[in-house]
Structure 1
Amino acid sequence: MKSAKEHIVVRGCGAVSSLGADSETIAQGYLAGKPAITIIQHQGQPTPVASLPPTAEAALQALISSNSGYRQLDRSVHLAIFAAIQATTQAGWLNQGTAQQEDLAVNIGSSRGATGLFEHHYDAYQLGQLSSSSSPTTTLGNLSSWVGHAVNAGGAQISHSITCSTALMAVANGVAWLRAGMANRFLAGGTEAPLTDFTIAQMKAVGIYSRLQDDLFPCQPYGISGQNTFVLGEGAGVFALEKALSTELRTADVIIEAVGFGFEQITSKTGISAEGQNFQRSMRHAISHLGQDDNQIDAIITHSPGTRAGDNAELAAIEAVLGDKLPSLTTNKHLIGHTLGASGALSLQYALHLLSSQQITTPGYTNLLPTHTSGPMRRILVNAAGFGGNAASIVLSIV
């Protein structure tokens, strides 16, 4: 008798971004298709950023006030804890008392880590007033350990950075650990709080930051302006993952069908070729795990940071891999900006929204993204890529 197949199921999801801090508000934001981007003054220049709206900020501050230990932490850790509590609550994992859950592992990543706190402590250092908390609250491991405390996780706690592919790599780690039996449940995701003076200046120094502050869409992935339109955003996304047999799956469960990785040799400071070789490899790697009899991709959520080189490379890679069988292509960065290490997680959360709503709201600034509505979206591929030539792809499907 053939044994039932094992699957990796998304049991819970938590997300916070410029669209909001709860699933209903975020879903409404996606359906409305209105950018959640505001304009601030940065070094005397009007600069678009995607920061938390007042309601989400109030919810985050309430969390910080709930635990005296949280006040010393970086905003990136606050965002991660907020999203992790949402994910574990949805999964029903926080209803098991206060004892440590030894079978629950955590992997939270970030591209930049404790950016705001680093800058704060460096300013204090220059004044000869460095706090004893500066080191323990700015280590990268600080991310997963505090999330672990918040959700009573007693298993492995991993923090890492692979730039903008960070969150997808965390989810891939979760898949591997669960399949290997090294954990029974796994929290995976990414977080970023990069809206600081120095980090914004760094992005401007790369020469990619949007100057379309007067446009309805300051960030325009696959736009026709001919400009770089990168906009920095903040947020976090965390997923509660566990294994389930085919016989244990429920209607509308979402499973992680495949993960793929790609890498190319660095030829520029951002590490991406015109052909998007890293994307080609990661997508082919992921799709190869689907099998030849049923490997149709219904939609792709692109990485597309709003830069000419990055957007064109990814589109070239998609065309090279899928040829004339292009599925719907969509993105969320025109709404929430680029959240760096959290971007892949927020794209996965967007995929959950699409699988639920079965509706893509097309931005009005471009006609370059094909959107097909002839059939249901059952399987979605999510891309992410980062500095250094790396890329990752994850395939989600709905039962």
Structure 2
Amino acid sequence: MKNGGRRVVITGVGAVTPIGTGADGLWVGLTARRSAVRELTRFDPTPFRSRIAAEIPDFRPQDHLDAKRAKRLDRFSQLAVTSARFALADAELEPAREDGDRAGAMMGSALGGVAFAESQVAGFHRDGPRGLDPALALAVFPGAASCNIAIEFGFTGPNSTNAMSCASGTIAVGDAFHAIRAGQADLMLAGGAEAPLAPMTYAAFSVIRAMSTRNDDPAHASRPFDAARDGFVMGEGAAVLVLEERARALARGAKIYAEIVGYGFTNDAYHMTAPRPDGRQAARAMRLALADG
């Protein structure tokens, strides 16, 4: 066991997803094999080859955040903060009773507040700088996810958001694990958040033919391990885990979902979207994780 035996466990799960909200809602959606992929409704998809997405149908940020503050956040940050709140509740933790210096947040988001940025383009071209929402600069950057979680709950410990695409949420969990094991924190919120469903962003992935065009069968369009796969399906959502130092979690009688014992991460250095065919670096990441434990 590394670093003097500090062990790390998962004690809370929070999520806002197209198939369910909260730990229980997400589990029900998964075990029911529910698909949330259907024709896109956020904007008119007819100009695009792909016209499907996984949208969250019933998320109202004002139900979970101060309404005035919610207006200043991009949807990805709204989802991140809400998921963090659900995770803390699932772990039966009250943020106000925590030592903020020993608690932090690490998140992943590939595209950050891209939808908020897109929403400002028309106003800028029409009215110049005066046409922009003053919240734009702070809403768009990916770091808004972890920063807003920290502000919401008063957590002044380790904080970061990485933008490493599809792996960003897992990297955030690994980094949070290491922060606790190294003694930098006792409690961490870690996960990922994305809300990229905006016309230009959707078009960008459509024109490079990265997305599935199974528009007539959206429920079966996402099939990453199928030989007949034809691309991914864009969606939105967030998930956050509560990570705690094990002795602390046991002392307070917390339920423990799992223990994290090792983490490794590598890079293919091969292609921006395609994985290395021989899987060499994926295998090395697994070996590093085993050695780390």
Structure-2-length-normalised TM-score: 0.87
1:145 shift after superposition: 1.6
CA distance, structure 2, for counterparts of residue 285 and residue 100 of structure 1: 32
1:210 shift after superposition: 0.8
CA distance, structure 1, for counterparts of residue 17 and residue 280 of structure 2: 30
1:185 shift after superposition: 1.1
CA distance, structure 2, for counterparts of residue 189 and residue 173 of structure 1: 10
Whether 2:286 is the aligned partner of 1:280: answer no
Contact 1:262–1:280 (CA under 8 A) maintained in structure 2: no
CA distance, structure 2, for counterparts of residue 52 and residue 172 of structure 1: 27
Any residues of structure 2 matched to 1:71-90 within 5 Å, and which?
Answer: 71-90=71-90
**Identity, % of aligned positions:** 24
Residue aligning to 2:119: 120
Could you say what secondary structure the match of 2:156 adopts? coil
Q: What do residues 179-231 of structure 1 show as CA deviations (whole Å, max 9, x unaligned)?
A: 11111211111100011111111111221211112224111122243x41310
Any residues of structure 2 matched to 1:94-113 within 5 Å, and which?
Answer: 94=94, 96-97=96-97, 101-113=100-112
Contact 1:103–1:154 (CA under 8 A) maintained in structure 2: yes
Residue aligning to 1:365: none
CA distance, structure 2, for counterparts of residue 53 and residue 70 of structure 1: 18
Residue aligning to 1:354: none
Residues 1:168 and 1:105: Cα distance change in structure 2 (over 3 Å): same
The answer to which structure, 1 or 2, has the higher relative contact order (CA under 8 A, 6+ apart) is 2
Could you say what secondary structure the match of 2:206 adopts? helix
1:92 shift after superposition: 2.8
Amino acid at match of 1:115: V
Residue aligning to 2:259: 255
1:157 shift after superposition: 2.4
Count of aligned positions: 280
Amino acid at match of 2:134: S
Residue aligning to 2:232: 230
Residue aligning to 2:241: 239
Contact 2:213–2:221 (CA under 8 A) maintained in structure 1: yes
Contact 2:45–2:51 (CA under 8 A) maintained in structure 1: yes
Amino acid at match of 1:63: H
Amino acid at match of 1:30: L
CA distance, structure 1, for counterparts of residue 121 and residue 5 of structure 2: 52
Unaligned segments of structure 2, at least 5 residues: none
The structure in which a higher percent of residues are strand is 1
Residues 1:270 and 1:256: Cα distance change in structure 2 (over 3 Å): same
CA distance, structure 1, for counterparts of residue 158 and residue 284 of structure 2: 30
Residues 1:201 and 1:247: Cα distance change in structure 2 (over 3 Å): closer
Any residues of structure 2 matched to 1:1-399 within 5 Å, and which?
Answer: 5-40=5-40, 41-45=44-48, 47-54=51-58, 57-58=59-60, 60-64=61-65, 66-94=66-94, 96-97=96-97, 101-127=100-126, 128=128, 129-215=131-217, 216-225=219-228, 227-245=229-247, 248=250, 253-266=257-270, 268-270=271-273, 272-290=275-293
Structure-1-length-normalised TM-score: 0.65
The structure in which a higher percent of residues are helix is 2
CA distance, structure 1, for counterparts of residue 242 and residue 216 of structure 2: 39
CA distance, structure 2, for counterparts of residue 13 and residue 183 of structure 1: 19
1:33 shift after superposition: 0.9
CA distance, structure 2, for counterparts of residue 28 and residue 195 of structure 1: 25
CA distance, structure 2, for counterparts of residue 194 and residue 157 of structure 1: 23
Contact 2:143–2:160 (CA under 8 A) maintained in structure 1: yes
